[in-house]
Every structure is written in structure tokens, then in C-alpha cells.
Chain A
């Protein structure tokens, strides 16, 4: 209860923070126009004036330089008179060569901070009466009717010559109509380390497999695969920490990464999780961090090959190793392999047509402590899961896809649905009116021992994207 309250207070503070940030942002243009008011603003204003003067001076110097270049060129070849009208090329050789239409650089429109906002809204229904149990993802549709899956605000840009940074703050509306704010990611990435190295630090999605680090609006389906929900919890594997990546000096793309992150919290459900929660029926207890091995360690290797002008594969292998919260010296190890293949013809239009095949296979082994009250012994459980999906962009802006999903494991703990088998088959159809919006229709057929009966669900999803959103990786 106390924890809950603290969470609520934190959320409140966070909301207040966002509100003041928005107010600040809104005021910025006003501030530039308003007369100098209180003292701190006056100094700031002076500084801005100073910067402006400085900038104008430098601009004037550059313009003078440009003019000098221009006149040098004009001496070699008579320039066109400046005119907004299209200038015909002089036809006779005597007129000399035409000068380029040199005026100003066109590299405007750049901001210090790129802001974007992405909305994912779903509508639909299911034969299941417990949709929150059926859908394992925190961004999945959760109820009959409408769901605000994810409103993602992204703040991104270059910090200085050494770092870029990105902050993703997400908003959701839960089944009770309550707005939930979450600091999903906030990290800096190095830009200029030598020897192919790159460092990332902050709060971020763990770079395990292919789907886990992707934001929901980049997924090819309305919901996340069952295995991601079961192994990494509803909101994906993410935490505070650091990641070092090395681009190997090979002829093909070959990258080795190692991530070290905190191993506790609600986004680490297979690890130290949150006291009071359970893992395979065992209650999670407080566990101290005594050594590095009590943190989450995630090594990953990924390589890519162009099979031809039109085909590329990307393969990866990851492991997530860390303590779990069922008792002292209890550990969870998750191993995964992932593959992605894409075909796109050399005369693709708007990026279409294409075929994309993507799959991941993961295996989890968790040693868990005994839970005497529940008469559960100390044990090691293993389970595995995976998905395979094919997407065909059959014509410009239209995609059909099919995904097959499976999770399941040891039957040693039949009372715990965390190990029971589940299958899901999901055909989907997506239409992108532009690259800034999409409509997706998806049907899910759910089957397995973890469910009382087969379930059928149909979801319609709308995405809209505002602002300058950073492009995605391959």
C-alpha cells in the first residue's frame, strides 16, 4: 500500500514536471518577444543579445567571404543577374558559362531538440472475459471497446559534439480510465569514441533480441509476442544501466554488445522484480546488490550480410543473466537467438513491395527458492518460447502479415500459468496512408493449456505520428 502511494506521488511529481516543461516550451517564443521583465530574465536576455550579435558578426564575415568567392567566379564567367525568374542558359559561346544559382545554404529547419509524438489507439473485442490475462503486453489492447495503447513523446537530439540523447515519456490510459505516465527511456549515446566503440548510458530498453528494444509503433503487429510478455513482463526488459558496443573490424557488419543494468523493478519480472510479486508461485523478497553478478548482464552479438542487391539478413544471439528475487543466490538465465530477412526490389517505390521474415527463439532457466506455505519446493524451471512472422508489402502502403507464437515449459509446476503452454496465430493487414499514419486490422486465435478454452480476438489499430521522429534502424 505504502509502495503504491509512493508510486502515485512520484507519478504526480512527474506529471507536474512534464506540465512545467510544456509551459516552459510554450513560453519560449513569447519570451523572445516580451519586454525584459524580472532580473534573471534580463541577464539571460543580455546573454542572448550577446550571442545574437556574435552570430550576426560571424554571419557577416561568412557572407563577405561568399561574396568574394562569387566575384572571383564572376570574373571568370559573367554571372546571371540576380532575378527570381528562371534564367535561360546563354546560347552563344560568347556569353560564357552560366554561374550557379548561388545564394544561401538550404540547411535550415534544424532544431536543437527534435520533438515527436506518436499515438497508438486500438478498438475491438475478444471472446475472452479476461483480456488482461490473454494479452501479455502492457501496450496490447486490454478491453472490449477502445484502448489507448501508447502515447509516446520523444525528445531527441545532439547534446554536444560527444553525445546524442533521447528521452521517451509515455502516457497510457488504464482500464479504470486513469492516466499513467512512465519514463520509458532516457539515455545518452556517445558519437565519437574511437575503434568502433559506442557507449550508451541511462534508462533504456535492454538490447536483447530484435523486438525488445523496439517501440510499439514500430512493431508489425498490434500486440507483442507472447514470449516477450512472459519472459520480460508487460513493458519489456528495460532498466537503468550502461551498454558498450563494439563494431568489429570485419568486412561484414558484426557488432558485439554488453549491457549492465539494475536487476530490480517491474520491468525485470524474471529477475529481482518487485517485492510482493511472484515468480513461478514464489514470492519475491528484497535482495541486496552485493556484487556485479547481482546486476543484470546482457551480452549480445549481431551480424548482417547482404545476400544480394535485394536481400539482407540480420542475425543475433543474446543472453540475459541475473539474480531473481525468490531467494538468495537464485538466478535466472535467458538465452535467445533472432533472425531477420528482408527482400526489397531495386526499383522499390515508397519502400514497397517487400517480404520480411522475422523470428526469435528464447529459452529461460530459473532456479527458484522453496515456498513452504504454498508447499512448493526449491526447483529449477526451464521454459521456452518464440515467434515467427512473415510480412508481405504487396503494393505501395499495404502489408499483409502472419505471426505464429508459442510459449511453454516444464510441467513440474502445473498450478502456475507462468509455465503452461500457449499458442497464438495472428493474421494482420496494415494500410499506411502515409509514413506518418497507419491503420491495422488483426485477428488473434489463442489456444493452449494456460487458457480455459480457445479464444478469438479482433483488433483495429490507428497510429498517428506528429513531429520530427528519428528514423528507425534496419
Chain B
């Protein structure tokens, strides 16, 4: 009886230990939003498993800090965040709950995507009467595809530090990504080149980096100030500006109020174009390059139709 009991105790202990040990050798990566998740999967391949916190279709400024994400972050080897305060409303409580020293600020497992990226729209003062401005600057920098080059480098460097045996894989995946990015960049630039200097209207200042990269102007917003809901007088001014300056394309994201955008567009026979900033929000956009590709194509088509 006794040896049996001891044996089963040992077995139980072994089971417990194996439950706490990593289930597989793959690096566990948590990404705050899906463009980082998609890039991590592209660079890491089979050597990583990726969990993304925010759903690609939801407002990234307001994500619930769900407890299941605390579990994912507790087990994570690597956390990829934008780092420009987009996630400030939900990442800190998740990190507190996750109690994982590997991904704390400054830890080797923490990837801050915006490190080394020049951010736009840095406010002169931290003043909330100017709306929900981000002190660090506009956090939607991943919509300039050139910035993805910086981010994949960050990701690859951290992956290599955690999994030196995978360095060659990561390097070749980065190289392959960059080749495809460069080819696409030429394609995208050519597609949007005929519309250089054209203005577009957006709901929120999400498309500042995108328009800057491709020679468009996205300086008119349905929100009077970032994060502040559109007021009728403001919308009237926007409609007047669209009429006076012949602005005929209005971009709207999956979570933004489409009816408001439609009402404004209808006034000037403008086109409402469905775009998004996160891979997975539109069918056929599972990778980052597919996402930018669809956005460029839709914007170019709309601008052409309205020429």
C-alpha cells in the first residue's frame, strides 16, 4: 500500500510540475493589437504562438481588460505593445494582474513598437480641453507601412534573444517580409501617385501617417477634437469645407458610427470608404501587407471614382 501511495504522490507532483513547465518550446507572444500580432506571426513562424488582446474590429482606445488576457500575459515570454499610449486604458491593469517579470517595462521580453518611430501630432501641452490627445503623439503610426520595417526589426531582435536557435529563421523571415514590403510600397505609391495632394476626410485622426506617406491630406475630421463626438455645428463646417474644397472621399473604420459618416457624405455626393487599421477587421486581411494593400486599393478606387 505504502509504496503505491508514494508512487502516486510522486506522479501527482510530476503532473503538477509538468503543468507549470512550458507545454511546448514555441515562444509565447502576446500582442496588444493585431498588426503587431500579424507581424510577430510572420517573423516567428512555427517558433512562436501569438495571442492578440484587442479585437481588430473594436475601438483600440477602449478595450476591456478581460481576466483571460491576464492569463495569456502571465504565461507570455514576449509582449509587443505600441507604446504610444493607445493601450493606456487597458494594458496597465492587465500587466498588474499578470505579475510576469519577463514582460514588465524594460524587461527583455517587452517590445515597444514605437521606439525609434517619429510620431506626429505631439501636442504642445498636456491639455484635455483639446480632447483625448496623446502626450507621446499620434499612436496610429503603423498605418505608414514604412514604419513596419522598424517594428519587424524590434520583433526579430527580441525573438533572437529568446530563441537563438531560431535566429536564421527570423532573419530570413524579416528579409522576406522586407522584400515583399518594398515591392508593395512601389505598387502602393504608384496606385496613389495620381491623387497626390488630394484631401480625404476621416472620423478620427487615424490616417495621418498613411496620408503623409502617400502624398494625401487627411486633416479634416468628423470629430471636432480627438475623441470628442461630432457636434452638428462642427459637421456643418466639415460639409461646407468638403463642398468648397471638393473633398469627395470619407474614410470610416469598423467601430466608428457609419451613419454619421453617411449623412455627411450624402450632402456632397462623397463616397464612404470602409477601411481599418488592424489586420483581420476586413475579410482577406489576415496579414499586415494584405491589410495595407486593401486599404490602398479602396482609397485609390474611391479617389479615382470621384475624379
Taking a contact as CB atoms under 8 Å apart, the answer to whether B185 and A252 are in contact is: no
When distances are taken between beta carbons in the complex, the residues of chain B under 8 Å from A351 are: 59, 62, 64
Taking a contact as CB atoms under 8 Å apart, the answer to whether A86 and B215 are in contact is: yes
Bitwise interface map of A from 15 to 59 toward B, beta carbon under 8 Å scored 1, else 0: 000000000000000000000000000000000000000000000
Taking a contact as CB atoms under 8 Å apart, the answer to whether A470 and B93 are in contact is: yes
Taking a contact as CB atoms under 8 Å apart, the answer to whether A252 and B71 are in contact is: yes
Chain B count of residues within 8 A CB distance of the other chain: 73
* Chain A stretch 81-107: residues in CB contact (< 8 A) with chain B: 86, 88-91, 93, 97-107
**Interchain nearest-CB distance for B114 vs A (Å):** 5
Taking a contact as CB atoms under 8 Å apart, the answer to whether A97 and B55 are in contact is: no
Residues A105 and B135 in contact in the complex (CB < 8 Å), given A91-B190, A192-B104: no
Taking a contact as CB atoms under 8 Å apart, the answer to whether B93 and A101 are in contact is: no
Chain A count of residues within 8 A CB distance of the other chain: 63
In the complex, A463 Cα to B122 Cα: how many Å?
A: 28
B302 proximal to A (CB < 8 A): no
Most chain A CB within a 10 A radius of its CB, from B74, B146, B193? B146
Residues A198 and B99 in contact in the complex (CB < 8 Å), given A89-B189, A347-B58: yes
Chain B residue with the shortest CB-CB distance to A194: B101
**Interchain nearest-CB distance for B124 vs A (Å):** 13
One of B4-12, B31-39, B82-90 at the interface: B82-90
One of A284-292, A303-311, A317-325 at the interface: A303-311
If over half of A's interface residues share one DSSP class (helix, strand or loop), that class is named, otherwise mixed; here it is loop
Chain B residue with the shortest CB-CB distance to A96: B182
Residues A109 and B135 in contact in the complex (CB < 8 Å), given A312-B64, A351-B64: yes
Residues A102 and B117 in contact in the complex (CB < 8 Å), given A86-B213, A473-B93: yes
When distances are taken between beta carbons in the complex, the residues of chain B under 8 Å from A108 are: 122, 135-136
Taking a contact as CB atoms under 8 Å apart, the answer to whether A101 and B67 are in contact is: no
Chain A residue with the shortest CB-CB distance to B203: A349
In the complex, A98 Cα to B213 Cα: how many Å?
A: 10
In the complex, A189 Cα to B128 Cα: how many Å?
A: 30
B116 proximal to A (CB < 8 A): yes
A253 proximal to B (CB < 8 A): yes
Residues A253 and B135 in contact in the complex (CB < 8 Å), given A86-B212, A434-B228: no
Taking a contact as CB atoms under 8 Å apart, the answer to whether A247 and B186 are in contact is: no
Chain A residue with the shortest CB-CB distance to B132: A434
* Chain A stretch 460-474: residues in CB contact (< 8 A) with chain B: 470-474
One of B236-244, B251-259, B283-291 at the interface: B251-259
**Interchain nearest-CB distance for A351 vs B (Å):** 4
In the complex, A347 Cα to B60 Cα: how many Å?
A: 10
Taking a contact as CB atoms under 8 Å apart, the answer to whether B214 and A474 are in contact is: no
When distances are taken between beta carbons in the complex, the residues of chain A under 8 Å from B227 are: 434
* Chain B stretch 167-219: residues in CB contact (< 8 A) with chain A: 178, 181-182, 185-186, 188-190, 193, 196, 212-215
Partner of B97, one of A100, A102, A247: A247
Taking a contact as CB atoms under 8 Å apart, the answer to whether A471 and B58 are in contact is: no
In the complex, A104 Cα to B137 Cα: how many Å?
A: 12
When distances are taken between beta carbons in the complex, the residues of chain B under 8 Å from A247 are: 70-71, 74, 97-99
Partner of A312, one of B19, B20, B68: B68
In the complex, A189 Cα to B93 Cα: how many Å?
A: 12
A436 proximal to B (CB < 8 A): yes
Taking a contact as CB atoms under 8 Å apart, the answer to whether A88 and B189 are in contact is: yes
**Interchain nearest-CB distance for B87 vs A (Å):** 9
B61 proximal to A (CB < 8 A): yes
In the complex, A104 Cα to B120 Cα: how many Å?
A: 11
Partner of B99, one of A197, A344, A348: A197
Chain B residue with the shortest CB-CB distance to A91: B189
In the complex, A346 Cα to B190 Cα: how many Å?
A: 35
Residues A314 and B67 in contact in the complex (CB < 8 Å), given A198-B99, A349-B257: yes
Taking a contact as CB atoms under 8 Å apart, the answer to whether A253 and B119 are in contact is: no
Taking a contact as CB atoms under 8 Å apart, the answer to whether A105 and B114 are in contact is: yes
In the complex, A342 Cα to B62 Cα: how many Å?
A: 14
In the complex, A141 Cα to B99 Cα: how many Å?
A: 38
In the complex, A342 Cα to B89 Cα: how many Å?
A: 18
Partner of A344, one of B64, B188, B229: B64
When distances are taken between beta carbons in the complex, the residues of chain B under 8 Å from A252 are: 68, 71
B149 proximal to A (CB < 8 A): yes
Residues A191 and B117 in contact in the complex (CB < 8 Å), given A86-B213, A252-B68, A351-B59: no
B92 proximal to A (CB < 8 A): yes
When distances are taken between beta carbons in the complex, the residues of chain A under 8 Å from B212 are: 86
Chain A residue with the shortest CB-CB distance to B71: A253
Taking a contact as CB atoms under 8 Å apart, the answer to whether A190 and B67 are in contact is: no
In the complex, A435 Cα to B178 Cα: how many Å?
A: 40
Partner of B186, one of A91, A305, A314, A349: A91
Residues A106 and B114 in contact in the complex (CB < 8 Å), given A98-B146, A347-B57: yes
Chain A residue with the shortest CB-CB distance to B228: A434
* Chain B stretch 104-153: residues in CB contact (< 8 A) with chain A: 104-105, 112, 114-119, 122, 126, 128, 132, 135-137, 141, 144, 146-147, 149-150
Taking a contact as CB atoms under 8 Å apart, the answer to whether B99 and A190 are in contact is: yes
A6 proximal to B (CB < 8 A): no
B46 proximal to A (CB < 8 A): no
In the complex, A197 Cα to B214 Cα: how many Å?
A: 49
Q: A105-B117, A309-B55 are in contact. List 6 more A-B contacts (CB 8 A).
A: A105-B114, A191-B104, A249-B20, A350-B59, A435-B62, A474-B64
Closest 9 CB pairs of A and B: A109-B135, A192-B101, A253-B67, A304-B67, A351-B62, A89-B189, A106-B119, A103-B118, A97-B182
16 contacts between A and B (CB under 8 A): A86-B213, A103-B116, A104-B116, A106-B136, A108-B136, A306-B68, A312-B64, A314-B67, A348-B62, A351-B59, A435-B132, A436-B128, A470-B93, A471-B65, A471-B93, A474-B65
Binding site for A on B (CB under 8 A): 19-20, 55, 57-59, 61-62, 64-68, 70-71, 74, 83-85, 88-93, 96-99, 101, 104-105, 112, 114-119, 122, 126, 128, 132, 135-137, 141, 144, 146-147, 149-150, 178, 181-182, 185-186, 188-190, 193, 196, 212-215, 227-229, 254-257
